[in-house]
Amino acid sequence: MTVSSKTVSIARKPEFIAKAKHLSIVNSSKSTWAVVRQWLVISMAASAAIWSSHWLVYAIAIVAIATRQHALGVLMHDASHYRLFKRRRTNEIVGNVACGLPVGYIVSRYRADHTLHHRDPNSENDPNWLVFQSNPRHWNWPKRPLNAMIVFLQDIVGANSLKYAQEFANWTPAQNHFGNVDKPAPLTWEERLTVYFFLASLVFALWFTNGWLNFLILWILPYVTISLLLVRIRTIAEHHSLPEGSGVDATRHIDPSLLESLCISPLNVNCHLVHHIFPSIPHYNLPEMTDALFADPAFAAVAHRSRGYLSRNGVIRGELLTL
């Protein structure tokens, strides 16, 4: 990390280090339930839509599935920190098959970029930040309300999906699949087999059930529209437009509403500041560590804490829009 951090310095107190060490223990049962829970919601939403054949139920299912696609990405993120399962092989297999590949990514590819993001957030060494700088129309915030609304509307109708896919193509198994170039790093043989197994299983299931149209409507459509909007809102809220500019201190903690926690910040991903300070803590323990740190007046005085995402004084309307 090239930028000194006030929040990190305070969080390095012995009592916080001891607590973080305890909270960093991976609970495989909680992780299993987190993964299963997302797929239960997806299955129930899809089943209800297909069974009813009603456009309104389909619309509700599309929204519900989009939120769970977002949650699967968060679980893939946990896997990238080896925080999903204690056994690394299990962590990689489940992280890929049940979390990453369904949303188009593979854990190791995401991990490579994300590790650099953690080392030096919002700097020229951060792959995410370089993407943001290359596309200011989508990623340069704050914006005027009209310009922000245009980006969000383009997201929700899918107009930005191709550009987004290109920006983060290095996270996909398709990029440099056979290792013809150095970056991104070539897939291992086990990763290739995992990808082939996943794709073969998906194609067989769709062929066997004749589910091609429903797959397009209930998986691809939410993925390239609503899911993209949710990811963008969460992403710009995490680090953009803070006075520190770069480093861990240029990170927000956000207190979401119940609806926001279900859609924009599933699985405690709103505890982003504490995640940057202690990335070893799995998602289900982040709130406890957050409460402990913010109970320290010195930490609370220097940390950025925002009230919600979309409320009147939330991050988007209160901090990322300009006149």
Tokens of 135: 């596309």
Q: What is the DSSP letter of 323?
A: -
Give the model's pLDDT for residue 185: 87
Give the model's pLDDT for residue 2: 44
Tokens of 194: 């995992």
Distances (CA, A) of 243 to 246, 300, 317: 9, 16, 17
Q: Where are the beta strands (DSSP E) in 185-282?
A: 252-255
Q: Where are the beta strands (DSSP E) in the chain?
A: 252-255, 304-307
Tell the burial category of 189 from Cβ atoms under 10 Å away from its Cβ (0-12, 13-18, 19+): exposed
Q: What is the DSSP letter of 200?
A: H
- The SS3 call for residue 143 is strand
Angle separating helix axes 286-294 and 14-23, nearest 10 degrees: 170
pLDDT tens-digit readout, 218-267: 999 999 999 999 999 999 999 999 988 788 999 999 999 999 999 999 99
Contact 105, 76 (CB under 8 A): yes
* 242 φ/ψ sector (left φ>0, alpha ψ -120 to 50, else beta): beta
- Cα–Cα dist 72/61, whole Å: 16
- The SS3 call for residue 265 is coil
Q: Residue 122 phi/psi, 5° resolution?
A: 60, 35
pTM, whole model, 2 decimals?
A: 0.95
Give the model's pLDDT for residue 167: 97
Give the model's pLDDT for residue 4: 61
- Return the exposure string of 216-245: e unless at least 16 CB atoms fall within 10 Å of the residue's CB, then b: ebbbebbbbbbbbbbbbbbebbbbbbbebe
- Cα–Cα dist 104/164, whole Å: 12
Q: Residue 155 phi/psi, 5° resolution?
A: -60, -50
Give the model's pLDDT for residue 193: 97
For 51, residues 6+ apart whose C-beta sits below 8 A from its C-beta are none
Give the model's pLDDT for residue 246: 83
User: Residues in the chain with pLDDT < 70?
Assistant: 1-4
- Cα–Cα dist 57/48, whole Å: 7
Which residue in 104, 86, 115, 82 sits closest to 164, CA to CA? 104
- Cα–Cα dist 288/300, whole Å: 15
- Residue 281: count other Cβ atoms within 10 Å of its Cβ: 27
